[in-house]
Chain A
């Protein structure tokens, strides 16, 4: 078990793709950590290596340099303590909703009681979708099914890769609220990768800003009031949005606004 209070610690993480002279460095010397029952948003423009960073954290892609520790244990592959929600939902098109939801639990031989199953479906408002296939659902419904599937694994850490990027504004905000309700009730930590400034501010208690020029982290800002559904109307929400926007648009200016 870990001596560190961190749930997740990422140190010196780097990733280079391709062989020999065709090498392309995507990430360099990335450090961040996240505690228990906490949230972290990783924000940056498209192509800055956010998804690569999340996939490495999830143990789905081996890093070129650096280490990832979850509760003190080095991550060298997918861990049962983590669950991932993907941008394109990661649902299996050939399985009905009921089968998709239970797949992870089935792989990990986790017992899921009928009550637990009904509870998560109720919380995510997907009670009547069991017999449908993913392509028969709306984008929002698909992502709620993916969230339910992840939650049934009772992860300590939930990793979300631009999970609401393909959704319209109202559905996106609705799902962000759903995530925060689960977060409050089920006591887990989450890392969300997004290119959306409002989303990062609303969900991340700390926000990591990626710098596409250095392939590393530009800034990390604290955002302690985030992570509650009421935050969207708080004055701090607007000032943090301004700060974040400024830092992303002027990455090498060290003095943030607000």
Chain B
């Protein structure tokens, strides 16, 4: 199982590289550098400290934003999903604020929290907050009433209810949401790092683009994608460990 997963990854990379190579030949290496040149530039870049600084800053912002969204949205979603009265109070607020494109709040957030890491992290986490909140709440709502009765009849209290029922019921949905959020978070990260920043892969990429250095730009794209893939895989591994009962 594990081996076939890595084989799938390897095959996908090979196919993508071939397609990339073909497209590069068609469009010309000025516009679309060929994979070999990008690989050579990448091997050069990884020996430079500055490349790792950009990567570390971007990774930190992503992990911090995902963590912030997780620690605010998940407990809130667990409580709303298991408490009908609170859910009724908050539902109109959530439905009204969910469709607002939070990215337009960028100037306000940067004004409130500054141009540093905090503003960027808050914007990314705000965007994925709602996604995570709604998935968590709906996962808990799907809870079978009989399981709740079973817990109560066994003498379980409110803490047991959250620990032994609500949390495990919501967990698979939370991981699905985190995986989807990773893609969104990387996209927003690129956007916020293209504005008033001195470090980050978004800047690295935009800077290379501005200099028409497309080979370096592709190195930036690969690095950003790699962070996304690592996070996605990390959530997958965590889910397989923590929701073993789902994967049998």
Q: Which residues of A contact B (CB under 8 A)?
A: 55, 58, 60, 77-78, 80, 82-84, 86-88, 90-96, 103-104, 107-108, 133, 135-136, 149, 153
A58 to B146, CA, bound (A): 13
- Residues of A with C-beta under 8 A to B155: 78, 80, 104, 107-108, 153
- Residues of B with C-beta under 8 A to A104: 154-155
Name the residue of chain A whose CB is nearest to the CB of B242: A94
If A86-B146, A90-B147 touch, does A78 touch B164 (CB 8 Å cutoff)? Answer: no
- Residues of A with C-beta under 8 A to B156: 103, 107
> CB distance A90 to B164 under 8 Å?
no
> B67 in the interface, Cβ–Cβ < 8 Å?
no
Is chain B's binding surface mostly helix, strand, loop or mixed? helix
Within the complex, what minimum Cβ distance (angstroms) separates A104 from chain B?
4
> CB distance A103 to B245 under 8 Å?
no
A92 to B246, CA, bound (A): 12
If A94-B243, A149-B154 touch, does A84 touch B164 (CB 8 Å cutoff)? Answer: no
- Residues of A with C-beta under 8 A to B152: 60, 77-78
Name the residue of chain B whose CB is nearest to the CB of A87: B146
Closest 9 CB pairs of A and B: A90-B150, A104-B154, A94-B168, A84-B153, A107-B155, A108-B155, A94-B245, A133-B245, A107-B156
- Residues of B with C-beta under 8 A to A58: 149, 153
Partner of B160, one of A55, A90, A107, A133: A107
> CB distance B149 to A92 under 8 Å?
no
> CB distance A92 to B243 under 8 Å?
no
Is chain A's binding surface mostly helix, strand, loop or mixed? loop
- Residues of B with C-beta under 8 A to A135: 245, 248
Since A55-B149, A88-B144, A92-B150 are in contact, a sample of 16 more A-B pairs with Cβ atoms closer than 8 Å, ordered by chain A residue number, is A58-B153, A83-B153, A83-B154, A84-B149, A86-B150, A90-B147, A94-B243, A95-B164, A107-B151, A107-B154, A107-B156, A107-B157, A107-B160, A108-B155, A135-B245, A136-B248
> B187 in the interface, Cβ–Cβ < 8 Å?
no
A74 to B206, CA, bound (A): 73
- Chain B, 226-247, CB within 8 A of any chain A CB: 243, 245-246
If A94-B243, A103-B164, A136-B248 touch, does A88 touch B146 (CB 8 Å cutoff)? Answer: yes
Name the residue of chain B whose CB is nearest to the CB of A136: B248
Within the complex, what minimum Cβ distance (angstroms) separates A26 from chain B?
16
- Chain B, 138-172, CB within 8 A of any chain A CB: 144, 146-147, 149-157, 160, 164-165, 168-169
A133 to B102, CA, bound (A): 42
A33 to B150, CA, bound (A): 24
B155, B168, B246, B248, most chain A CB atoms within 10 A? B155
- Residues of B with C-beta under 8 A to A90: 146-147, 149-150, 153
Name the residue of chain B whose CB is nearest to the CB of A58: B153
B153, B169, B246, most chain A CB atoms within 10 A? B153
Name the residue of chain B whose CB is nearest to the CB of A83: B153
- Residues of A with C-beta under 8 A to B157: 107
> CB distance B154 to A103 under 8 Å?
yes
A103 to B165, CA, bound (A): 12
If A86-B146, A88-B144, A92-B164 touch, does A60 touch B153 (CB 8 Å cutoff)? Answer: yes
- Residues of B with C-beta under 8 A to A87: 146
A120 to B154, CA, bound (A): 17
- Residues of B with C-beta under 8 A to A80: 155
- Residues of B with C-beta under 8 A to A108: 154-155
A58, A60, A77, A96, most chain B CB atoms within 10 A? A60
A92, A133, A136, most chain B CB atoms within 10 A? A92
Within the complex, what minimum Cβ distance (angstroms) separates A160 from chain B?
12
Name the residue of chain B whose CB is nearest to the CB of A155: B153
- Residues of A with C-beta under 8 A to B154: 83, 103-104, 107-108, 149, 153
Digitize B179-211: 1 where CB-to-A-CB distance is under 8 Å, 0 elsewhere.
000000000000000000000000000000000
Within the complex, what minimum Cβ distance (angstroms) separates B136 from chain A?
16
Within the complex, what minimum Cβ distance (angstroms) separates A107 from chain B?
4
Within the complex, what minimum Cβ distance (angstroms) separates A148 from chain B?
13
- Residues of B with C-beta under 8 A to A153: 154-155
Within the complex, what minimum Cβ distance (angstroms) separates B200 from chain A?
39
- Residues of A with C-beta under 8 A to B150: 84, 86, 90-92
Name the residue of chain B whose CB is nearest to the CB of A109: B155
Digitize B68-105: 1 where CB-to-A-CB distance is under 8 Å, 0 elsewhere.
00000000000000000000000000000000000000
- Residues of A with C-beta under 8 A to B149: 55, 58, 60, 84, 86, 90
- Residues of B with C-beta under 8 A to A96: 245
A107, A108, A135, most chain B CB atoms within 10 A? A107
